A = this chain, B = another copy of it.
Amino acid sequence: MTGRLVVVGLGPGSAAQVTPEALAAVEASEDFFGYIPYLDRLSLGPHQRRHASDNREEISRAEQALRLAASGGKVCVVSGGDPGVFAMAAAVCEAIESGPSEWREIDFSVVPGVTAMLAVAARAGAPLGHDFCAINLSDNLKPWSLIEKRLRLAAEADFAMAFYNPRSASRPEGFVRTLALLRELCGDARPILFARAVTTAQETLHIVPLGQARADMADMRTMVIVGSSRTRIIERARGPILYTPRGIPDEAAG
């Protein structure tokens, strides 16, 4: 008997940013897999079961969830933010592809959410208002050489850049190198935004020029956005607005 598996995005933290679709998917599920802090955000009933796991165990979590769904379970895998951006949706797909053929018969779906970079951008103004890229800086899953190549090409394309997982406790030197490279590519004046724990009571936002950015301004709860060459700051008594205009005049295009 084949069951179903839904991967649900809970948004960046605030209950006010969880969609009705996500809440309905949670309510309709019986077994919940996920990283502990995300499971802690759910209000579960007595018939609903938690299967918590650590952050590094994405593939084994996906496989456990798929095994239970294949045996008829109503399974929910939870992610913060959007599950399709550097999160559990791809991990479940990887497990389906390499797993037994019956896993392809599972009713599999993904419920999107507000991903961290959009919640952060909204708080700051509109830094992603023009073409941009999203890069996972964690080097657990790819070599530094590829991160460096992408940073160089993204800067040449003049994308605004959103960075997920900028700084890991185990490999803090990676973000030091990233900041040094960004200063070389974009110059010391380019604005960089550090946003921590956005939409929660611990939220902080700091905009500084790249020349003043230090690696310890980020931790694993921080999202970092670097502007394009056209990103601007509007100074106000209420605090700065960071935004990237929608268009580029012909004469300014490289």
User: Which A residues contact B (CB, under 8 angstroms)?
Assistant: 9, 11, 14-21, 24, 58, 82-87, 89-94, 96-97, 104-105, 107-115, 118-119, 121-123, 125-136, 140-143, 145-146, 149-150, 153-154, 156-159, 232, 234-238, 241, 243-248, 250, 253-254
Contacts and interface: CB of A to CB of B under 8 A. Distances in A.
A48 to B, nearest CB: 21
10 smallest beta-carbon distances between A and B, as pairs: A90-B129, A141-B247, A93-B243, A89-B126, A16-B21, A133-B133, A110-B122, A153-B157, A112-B122, A90-B126
Contact of A110 (B17, B113, B123): B123
Given A24-B16, A114-B113, A237 B135 contact: no
Contacts of A129: 84-87, 89-90, 93
A131 B150 contact: yes
Contacts of A20: 15-18, 20
Given A85-B128, A114-B114, A131-B136, 16 more contacts: A14-B21, A17-B20, A84-B122, A91-B246, A93-B241, A93-B245, A96-B234, A97-B234, A104-B237, A104-B238, A110-B121, A111-B122, A131-B135, A132-B133, A142-B248, A154-B157
Contacts of A146: 248, 253-254
Contacts of A114: 19, 82, 112-114
B247 A140 contact: yes
A187 to B, nearest CB: 19
A16 B114 CA distance: 13
Given A85-B118, A90-B129, A131-B134, A150 B145 contact: no
Given A16-B24, A129-B90, A108 B241 contact: yes
Contacts of A83: 122, 126
Contact of A94 (B15, B21, B127, B245): B245
B19 A122 contact: no
